[in-house]
Structures are given as C-alpha cells and as structure tokens.
C-alpha cells in the first residue's frame, strides 16, 4: 500500500509542477515536500491510555495528545487506509520506539508517509501564528506565505533522532 501512496503523491507533485510552475520555489506542493523528506511508517495499535479523538480532527487530536505526552513527536504527511480510495493529508504522533500513535484513525490497514517535527520548532511555529484555529503545519502554511514550499523546511524543523531511527527501520 505504501507504493500506492507514493505513486499518488508523485502524480500530484508532477501535476503541481506542470500547472503551477513556481520556478523559484523549492517545492511545487506539500506532496513533493513529503516525498522528499518523509519517512514511511506503519500502523501501531493505539495505547490503552490514549483515547481516540474525533474524525476529521487529526491536527487537534494529535496536538491534544502531544500536550499531555511531551515525549511524543508530532508528524504530518499523508496516510492511506485500505478502505479509502485516496490518500489524505494527516497528522499523527510517534513515540521514541518509532511506533505510530494515531489518535484519529484506529485502522490496522493504514500506511503513513510523513515528517517527524521537532517539538520546540512546532510549538514556536504555532505561537508565531497567534491563532488557535491553525494547528496544521502544511495546510496553514499560507499564514507564512508558503515559506515551506518556497524555501523548504528550516534545519531545526525535523526531529533528527526520530528521523534517523525511523529511516533505519525501513
């Protein structure tokens, strides 16, 4: 299923490059950014001490769990469930062992491709927005004039330890 997810994102990225040629932007869309920097991840059952949040609330659900569990790492990217016809932009968490904690979906037939973000960077970004309704890094990047697409991620944005550990698990 991960190949289906990557193929879909690749086609979306190609379409964006062809139809929105921002010649000076590093990425034509978030699909391209995630394909470049994202890490493959697989479903893990939700730990018993974490409650499943509400559907279509992945950013809020993940942020809520992160606040109560600051040792977790916030991730954003794309996910594909076997019973959905296309990948969706999504947020989830990962623990220090590389296990997914998805407080929105609890479907064992889900694959993920996303970026683990440094918590300090993530919180700093949210505070700079000074808004409580824009928890998504990618979908709300219009507030920063699409800086992540124009310039790419800052050096301190990616949680390096988690990124290296997840990459080694593949």
pLDDT in tens, 106-139: 888 999 999 999 999 999 999 999 998 999 999 9
Which H or E element spans position 60? Answer: helix 58-68
Q: How far apart are CA 95 and CA 71, in angstroms?
A: 7
Q: Write the Ramachandran bin of 146: left for phi over 0, alpha for psi from -120 to 50, otherwise beta.
A: left
Number of domains in the chain: 1
Q: How far apart are CA 38 and CA 1, in angstroms?
A: 16
- pLDDT at residue 162, as a whole number: 60
- pLDDT at residue 166, as a whole number: 64
- Residue 55 — φ and ψ, nearest 5°? -60, 150
Percent of all residues in the chain with a pLDDT value above 90, rounded to a whole number: 85
State the greatest distance between any 2 C-alpha atoms of the chain, in Å, as a whole number. 48
Question: Domain containing 58: what range?
Answer: 2-169
């Amino acid at each position: 299923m991960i190949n289906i997810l990557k193929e879909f994102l690749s086609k979306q990225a190609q379409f964006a490059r062809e139809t929105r040629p921002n010649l000076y932007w590093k990425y034509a869309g978030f699909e391209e950014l995630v394909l470049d920097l994202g890490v493959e991840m697989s479903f893990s059952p939700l730990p018993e001490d974490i409650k499943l949040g509400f559907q279509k609330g992945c950013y809020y659900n993940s942020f809520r769990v992160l606040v109560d569990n600051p040792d977790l790492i916030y991730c954003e990217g794309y996910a594909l469930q076997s019973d959905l016809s296309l990948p969706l932009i999504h947020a989830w968490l990962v623990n220090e062992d590389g296990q997914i904690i998805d407080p929105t979906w609890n479907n064992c037939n889900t694959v993920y491709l996303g970026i683990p973000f440094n918590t300090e960077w993530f919180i700093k970004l949210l505070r700079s927005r000074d808004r409580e309704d824009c928890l998504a890094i990618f979908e709300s990047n219009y507030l920063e004039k699409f800086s992540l697409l124009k310039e790419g991620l800052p050096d301190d944005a990616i949680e390096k330890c988690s990124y290296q550990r997840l990459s080694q698990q593949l």
